Amino acid sequence: MEKEVTIYDIAKILHISPATVSRALNDHPAINSKTKLSIAAKAAELGYRSNTFASNLRRKSTSTLGVIVPRLDSSFMSAVLAGMESVANRAGYNLLISQSLESESKERANARTMYNSRVDGLLVSLAYDTDGFDHFENFVKKNVPILFFDRIFDHDACAAIVIDNEQAGYDVTSHLIMQGCNRIMHVTGNLKRNVYSERYRGYRSALEAHGVLFDESLVTETDLSREAGKDAIAKLADMSILPDGIFIANDVCAISCVKELKQRGYRIPEDIAVAGFNNDPVAEVVEPNLTTIYYPGREMGEIAVKTMIDHLNGTVSMDTVNTVIMKSDLIVRDSSLKLTGKYQVN
Amino acid sequence: MEKEVTIYDIAKILHISPATVSRALNDHPAINSKTKLSIAAKAAELGYRSNTFASNLRRKSTSTLGVIVPRLDSSFMSAVLAGMESVANRAGYNLLISQSLESESKERANARTMYNSRVDGLLVSLAYDTDGFDHFENFVKKNVPILFFDRIFDHDACAAIVIDNEQAGYDVTSHLIMQGCNRIMHVTGNLKRNVYSERYRGYRSALEAHGVLFDESLVTETDLSREAGKDAIAKLADMSILPDGIFIANDVCAISCVKELKQRGYRIPEDIAVAGFNNDPVAEVVEPNLTTIYYPGREMGEIAVKTMIDHLNGTVSMDTVNTVIMKSDLIVRDSSLKLTGKYQVN
DNA sequence: CTGTTAGCGCCTTCAA
DNA sequence: TTGAAGGCGCTAACAG
């Protein structure tokens, strides 16, 4: 094991003080640029690397951001993380990533770990069933900034980044109505999560705007799993008047609805037009291809980290930011195109 | 900002030495259990949290493992990471995760970051086009253990965890042969990556074992992307004698082959039986459902971290481990079932 | 079983 | 523009 090079080694060789080396390496303005150059050169030559822990210990900051997401294995989340990683890296921050697996208790445990690891800031997308905010109180108390994204918590002390879920829900529903649907089922997730309650609100206002009667029995709150999709279709099949469209708040569940509809002999979109949400890769594999909402995952991750870092640098206060709303887009595919008749049939 | 509680605070209150507090908190065997209890109680009462940096600085270890994967957004990788995370957490290790996005240069950058972050160990699955090993030399020099998984590098100083890709390739190919195929196309990835070269070897030995003639023109080395799938099928369609089966080394590409085959009017599996690799969720969405190889992702992640930690604890030497080979399984679905006639037709 | 002592490597006053 | 000095919080000898 080779010995690690320290600023003392460099100082000794160059006959200067460690303080000067430290300052030069950190690009301190009050250091002669020639001195800087010679120090940088010697550092490179010796293969010096800064000791993060000593630095952290001294500065009482970690240059690390904690990230808690419901799950890593969704295309949306990996896009978010990719965006986060690139911005964080460029700014010299590390990411400590963990997944709550949609469970509040795991989310609590993760928050504790982040707290103990003394992350400089915390980025969170809430688990499916999280109720309380108390596992984040520690951070607020210690003044560690929290930024929620996608599945957010409305809290004065925290910033938030979301898409306009209500608008998206409105767009999907309007599109279905334009295709001739006037009895649209809505399969949603836990309504205490903003993303689902807002999509639902968009659904309702679209109905209203287009003069379509709202029927409560057409709305099902589920966990948006595959099974939930099957169950929803079973419920649909039992209805006395069949819906002619269905808007599912998430693609994975939507796919399972499509499968089940087909299995039961319904034609998509002729009998029932289908639309999902998220633009998951499966949306382009299922037949017919699924109409859905494109989610700017990568950009959301980038903005989240950028906002956090700006705040940490004192450039922007979190209060100023509070909530950023991003745009998303409707992607129309065959599963909802009743009017053009261009459906693939195999 | 509240002041952080230190072991000195606890020591002062309890009229004992900081060293005792430190030892008690780390569950040192040579501390009276009553003392431990009272210290633990006081620590909890004061909301004490250990300062990782001071500890790291002193112990010259980080309790952090670096992970470099080609990409986060594959179901296989997220399973691996889930397994890694749970084992690491339980053992008190953190994970520093980054993705190379299949590019050697990003892999190099990631390795450098890991090196500067002084991870205690490095877990790597290689990018698609990585040639050199030199970006890992630093670790070897500094005696930081490296463990490759899935896409591995054959290197004396490093351990490796893989599935038996050759066996799996053999199983898939044999299955196709048993279904009556005797002209099987093989779409593979970069043959310098073990996973692909071994699957290819399995393909060849299965042909040989069953007395099926090997035809080099049936093998295409690609990047296994969606486009590659389309191209492969274009090539297939141009052949004078059509294949009756096709084995693609990855599900994402296989799906695109299926789509293209259907588009061109081939019936699956009647005209051409199709098999993929990985058991990606899309395999159960595409029609007909895709025959594939199940990959024990979660278990692989668990074993990788377990092996690494055992090594770091000195329980097991890396040399002893060297290469772990895990089992995988053939999953037969409609896309390859020529004999039973149970294909879904919609 | 517990205490004393001496740093780990860095950064930041303060002084020059 | 640079140097000297002290301490961030913890742990590992060493000594009882």
pLDDT (tens digit per residue) in A277-303: 999 989 999 999 999 999 999 999 999
Does residue A303 contact residue A326 with C-beta atoms inside 8 Å? yes
Does residue A215 contact residue A183 with C-beta atoms inside 8 Å? yes
Is A45 inside any structural domain? yes
Is A343 inside any structural domain? no
Indicate the pLDDT class of residue B1, thresholds 50, 70 and 90: very low
Instruction: Look at B124 and B10; give whichever has higher pLDDT.
Output: B124
Note whether A157 and A170 are same-domain residues: no
Over residues B31-49, the pLDDT tens digits come to 888 888 888 888 888 888 8
How close does chain B come to A205, measured CA to CA in Å?
33
Number of domains in chain B: 3
SS3 for A146? strand
Note whether B157 and B171 are same-domain residues: no
Is B276 inside any structural domain? yes
Q: How many whole angstroms separate alpha carbon A272 and alpha carbon A257? A: 11
The percent of residues in chain B predicted with pLDDT above 70, rounded, is: 95
* Å from the A221 CA to the D10 C1': 51
Under-50 pLDDT residues of chain A: 1, 342-346
Q: Which of B52, B54, B72 sits opposite A81 (nearest CB)?
A: B72
In three-state form (DSSP H/G/I as H, E/B as E, the rest C), the secondary structure along B57-119 is HHHCCCCEEEEEECCCCCHHHHHHHHHHHHHHHHCCCEEEEEECCCCHHHHHHHHHHHHHCCC
Residue B320, pLDDT score:
63
Note whether A116 and A185 are same-domain residues: no
Over residues B270-282, the pLDDT tens digits come to 999 999 999 998 9
* Å from the A20 CA to the D3 C1': 8
How close does chain B come to A54, measured CA to CA in Å?
6
B59 in reach of chain A (CB within 8 A): no
Is B346 inside any structural domain? no
Residues A57, B53: C-beta atoms closer than 8 Å? yes
Residue B318, pLDDT score:
67
Hey, which residues 301-340 in chain B have their CB within 8 Å of chain A?
none
Note whether A289 and A187 are same-domain residues: yes
Residue of chain B with shortest Cα separation from A96: B96
Is A56 inside any structural domain? no
Note whether A148 and A93 are same-domain residues: yes
How many residues are listed for chain A in this entry? 346
Cα distances (Å, whole numbers) of residue A274 to A74, A238, A259: 21, 18, 11
Note whether A215 and A304 are same-domain residues: no
Over residues B15-36, the pLDDT tens digits come to 888 889 999 988 888 888 888 8
Query: Residue A16's domain is classified under what CATH number?
Result: 1.10.260
Note whether A304 and A159 are same-domain residues: yes
Residue B36, pLDDT score:
87
The percent of residues in chain B predicted with pLDDT above 90, rounded, is: 58
Q: List the B245-248 sheet strands across, edge first.
A: B219-221, B184-188, B245-248, B273-275
Query: Residue A240's domain is classified under what CATH number?
Result: 3.40.50.2300
Q: Which of B2, B71, B285 sits opposite A282 (nearest CB)?
A: B285
Nucleotides of D under 7 A from a protein CB: 1-5, 7-13
Note whether B125 and B230 are same-domain residues: no
Is A344 inside any structural domain? no
Instruction: Look at B237 and A60; give whichever has higher pLDDT.
Output: B237
Note whether B158 and B300 are same-domain residues: yes
pTM: 0.85
Is B2 inside any structural domain? no
Note whether B99 and B154 are same-domain residues: yes
Note whether A242 and A306 are same-domain residues: no
Note whether B120 and B176 are same-domain residues: no
* Å from the B146 CA to the C10 C1': 28
Full residue range of the structural domain in which residue A21 is found: 7-50
Q: Where are the beta strands (DSSP E) in chain B?
A: 64-69, 94-99, 121-124, 146-149, 159-163, 184-188, 219-221, 245-248, 273-275, 292-294, 323-326, 329-331
pLDDT (average), residues B260-277: 96
Q: Which of A50, A57, A89 sits opposite B54 (nearest CB)?
A: A57
Over residues B165-204, the pLDDT tens digits come to 999 999 999 999 999 999 999 999 999 999 999 999 999 9
Residue B228, pLDDT score:
96
Q: From chain A, pick out residues whose CB is under 8 angstroms from the CB of B72.
A: 72, 78, 81-82
Q: From chain B, pick out residues whose CB is under 8 angstroms from the CB of A75.
A: 73
